[in-house]
Structure 1
Amino acid sequence: MAKYTDEQIRNFPKITCKIAADYLGIAPMAISIGMRNDLLPIGFAIHTEDKYTDSWRYQIIDERLIAYKHGKMTNIQIQNIEKNLNTIISQFEEMKKDLLFILSESAEQGI
């Protein structure tokens, strides 16, 4: 198993489940299952399901992985960060709706 330093993890353009597993010293399947079940707070597991496919993609965030390895990040911290991000996203969505309304009103008035 390859072992990576924190700096090497930061320099990867994309961190795969294999890289994360080698870094943490666990099996790649443990990474994917842990992320799918929200038990491993190192990134996001994205499930894609349509008529023809059923697949998972993983977005592993370097600083979360490093913090998790060193015991500096808890699930509570992650939940708080994600809650704040969700709030920000919903506020931006509301602003987008307002902007689209204003633009449609302007277009109707020929402004």
Structure 2
Amino acid sequence: MPKYSDEEIRDFKKITCKIAADYLGISPMAVSIGMRNDLLPIGFVIHNEERYSESWSYQIIAERLIAYKHGKITQIQVENIEKNLNTIINQFEEMKKDLLFILSKNAE
């Protein structure tokens, strides 16, 4: 089982469940199940349900993974970060709608 340093984790373009598992010293299955059940706050999980198949996609965030390993992140902190990000995203969406409206009026 390879051991990764914090800097090596930061350098990965994509962190897989296997890499995260090796870094945390647990199994890849523990990482995926932990993320699916909101028990491992190291990133985001997308459940893709198609008509004939089902799959999961994992987006593991290096800084969250590092903070979690060092005991510096809690679920409450993650929820607050996500709430703040959702607020920012919603504000940008509103600005986008306003801009599109202005551009459509100018085109007329």
Output the TM-score relative to the length of structure 2: 0.94
The gaps in structure 1 that reach 5 residues or longer are none
The answer for the alignment partner of 1:100 in structure 2 is 100
- Structure 1 segment 1-111 matched on structure 2, within 5 A: 1-108=1-108
Q: Report Cα offsets for 1:67-92 as digits up to 9, x if no partner.
A: 00000011111111000000000001
Whole-Å separation in 2 of the counterparts to 1:9 and 1:96:
34
What amino acid maps onto 2:76 in structure 1?
Answer: I
**Number of residues paired by the alignment?**
108
The gaps in structure 2 that reach 5 residues or longer are none
Q: Report Cα offsets for 1:2-45 as digits up to 9, x if no partner.
A: 11111111111211000100111111011111111111110111
Whole-Å separation in 2 of the counterparts to 1:50 and 1:89:
27
Whole-Å separation in 1 of the counterparts to 2:37 and 2:93:
27
Superposed CA RMSD in Å reads 1.1
Max radius of gyration: which structure?
Answer: 1
Whole-Å separation in 2 of the counterparts to 1:8 and 1:90:
34
- What percentage of aligned pairs have identical amino acids? 80
Of 74-83 and 43-52, the range deviating more from structure 2: 43-52
Output the TM-score relative to the length of structure 1: 0.91
